[in-house]
Chain A
Amino acid sequence: MSDLFTSPTGDWTAVSPRLATARRLIGVSCGGVLLLVGIVVTVLLWWWLGVPIAIVGIVIAAWVWWWAPRNRRSWGYTEGPEDFVVRGGIMFRRLVAVPYGRMQFVDVEAGPVARQFGFATVTLHTASTKTAAGIPGVPIDEANRLRNRLTELGDSGGAGV
């Protein structure tokens, strides 16, 4: 990634590679289902409806296959001395820095697929809704460690609203 989004501490903690695997799996299954539907429609009903559906399915699967590992690599976070910094996104890049004292609470969320793959989304909340600092694909243990650590830092440095 370009110089613009370099880490203030020098390096980024990457998120789990399984995030990409999980996304590829979901993308390929969705694409596969569409492809199957397309084939069935082509064979049994009308080819002019079935072929486009099948093509959409293939395109979705291919795109997710290409996108998932790149997006996974774009995510990173780092614990600076006084603030927590998150970056992410390939097309629309974003870097958010949250001072520890401003953190109101930290959410750890994991859907069924994420649980299966052993990762979770960690979201940092401040009094501003625009902060929206969410990190997908953090391994469960790391996510819990991060939550405890951030909550602790937030309590000790709490500047309130």
Chain B
Amino acid sequence: MSELPPDDLESPEEPGTPAVPAGAQTEGRRTHPLTALVQGGIWAGLGIVGLFNAFVNGDSFSLFSGVIAVAAAVAGGLLIGLIAGFLRWYFTRYFIDGTELRIESGVIFRTSRRIPYERLQSVDIDEPFLARLVKLSELHMEMAGGGESRSTLRFLPLDESRQLRRVLLARAHGAGADEAVAVAEEQREVITVVGPDRIIIGTLLSLDFLFAVAAIVTLLIVGFAVPDAWAVLGGIIPTGFWLVQIIGSRVIAQWNFTLSRGSRGLRIERGLLSRSSQTIPYERVQGIAVVEPFIWRKLGWQRLSVDIAGYGASADEENGVSDTTLLPISDPPLARAVAEELIAGSDPDSVERTPVSRRSWVFAPIGYRFRWVGASDRTFVAREGWISRHTDLVPHHKTQSVALRQGPLQRWRKVATIEVHTPPGPVNAEGRHLDALVAREIADQQIARAPH
């Protein structure tokens, strides 16, 4: 798949483009006028999905009332979206000055949100399908801390989003706020493109997909083979829905998954219908989780996810698509190289392993053999799982806190659990059921290694 360069790897713009969109410094700049239309379209789409959900959940419609309901959902969604979108567009302006980006919005209650450049964690661009058709995009700005750490500008022309992202990222990293100088597109180098074929095969071989298919086949067989068991066929719809969701979140969202490297971090671009483009600054990576599902492991495939402060909170809302995936499917050498680039000295094979206590077999008769923790001079490593294998890597200088736990059963077996805490995300580094004294020793070592 690598012969066709993904179309969203941006081509550098001609020199002489102004650094900041015209008018953004003084009187403020509006988002794109088509915002209202796109918003209307998205709401109409949501109306249909809602209706479909109602249908799946068993609300019955006759053909006639069904048509009416669909028409009402589309028209209502469109109308409300149009009005809301128009008002939002009319009242939203953004300003760029020397120290911050300011977004003023709100119809009745005016809000003015300030985004100081030095607090920016990352800037992402999303192109929802409908917006993408008219070349519009959303700009997300992530700040550290708090529940409302994410600000969004929707919708901007794609070029303007990219221009803004360049300016914001450059200033976030301390570039001078000289508006006259154009910020050049940084040179980026593609690390890998995970082709759709691989994503599809990987999805077909994942256990939950196989379960969903097996469930549907079983339902079909039971439904047709056993007389008077037609009712069972009703179960196919939710299972099918689940299947569609799996395909949607894995295949469609990760279509043409491109990982590239810039001077300040890695960039991920992905998506078939909706495209998204996010930046992962090197210094913001709090930990890496390596997952090797059962079947994948036989083929030597791995999935890499990262922990980034601020992302954990917003990972769920994006249609269930996790924006913490670093590499959806990868061969171990590449995964190793990427992990090494983000967290130095994190090779799980080179650390000295401390296996869990044999006495812990009561808690996990098979699994206890596969659990261990270890630490290099830079990184803490924890592994567990014999069906799906999880390896968590946490650099010592990102350790938030260290805990030692012991429940009554663990006391009986003279074992204890050690946890190395990271911000919310896919990484969950803990060594369960280590020998109690060893666990205390490791906990003390980890505390000593944490930053002071």
Q: Which residues of A contact B (CB under 8 A)?
A: 2-5, 8, 82-83, 91-102, 104, 126-131, 133, 157, 159-161
User: Which of the listed residues A100, A127, A128, A130 has the most CB atoms from chain B within 10 Å of its own CB?
Assistant: A128
Q: Which residues of B contact A (CB under 8 A)?
A: 144-145, 284, 286, 309, 397, 399-408, 411, 416, 419, 421-424, 436-437, 439-440, 443-444, 447, 450-452
How many whole Å from B421's CB to the nearest CB in chain A? Answer: 4
- The complex places the Cα of A91 from the Cα of B411 at a distance, in Å, of 9
- 18 residue pairs of the A-B complex, CB under 8 angstroms, read A4-B437, A4-B439, A8-B447, A91-B408, A93-B407, A97-B401, A100-B452, A101-B452, A104-B145, A128-B423, A128-B424, A129-B423, A130-B419, A130-B422, A157-B452, A159-B452, A160-B144, A161-B145
- The complex places the Cα of A5 from the Cα of B410 at a distance, in Å, of 14
How many whole Å from B281's CB to the nearest CB in chain A? Answer: 11
Q: Within 8 Å CB of B401, what residues of A?
A: 96-99, 102, 126, 128, 130-131, 133
- The complex places the Cα of A96 from the Cα of B446 at a distance, in Å, of 12
- The complex places the Cα of A131 from the Cα of B403 at a distance, in Å, of 8
- The complex places the Cα of A143 from the Cα of B35 at a distance, in Å, of 51
Classify the secondary structure of B's interface with A.
mixed
User: Which of the listed residues A102, A130, A133 has the most CB atoms from chain B within 10 Å of its own CB?
Assistant: A130
How many whole Å from A57's CB to the nearest CB in chain B? Answer: 26
How many whole Å from B231's CB to the nearest CB in chain A? Answer: 41
- The complex places the Cα of A82 from the Cα of B440 at a distance, in Å, of 18
| Smallest Cβ-Cβ distance to B144: which chain A residue | A161
- The complex places the Cα of A92 from the Cα of B408 at a distance, in Å, of 6
Whether B400 lies near A4 (C-beta < 8 A) is no
Whether B447 lies near A161 (C-beta < 8 A) is no
Q: Within 8 Å CB of B424, what residues of A?
A: 128-129
Whether B400 lies near A126 (C-beta < 8 A) is yes
| Smallest Cβ-Cβ distance to A94: which chain B residue | B405
- The complex places the Cα of A159 from the Cα of B405 at a distance, in Å, of 26
Which 3 pairs between the two chains have the least Cβ-Cβ distance? Answer: A128-B421, A128-B400, A126-B400
Whether B407 lies near A127 (C-beta < 8 A) is no
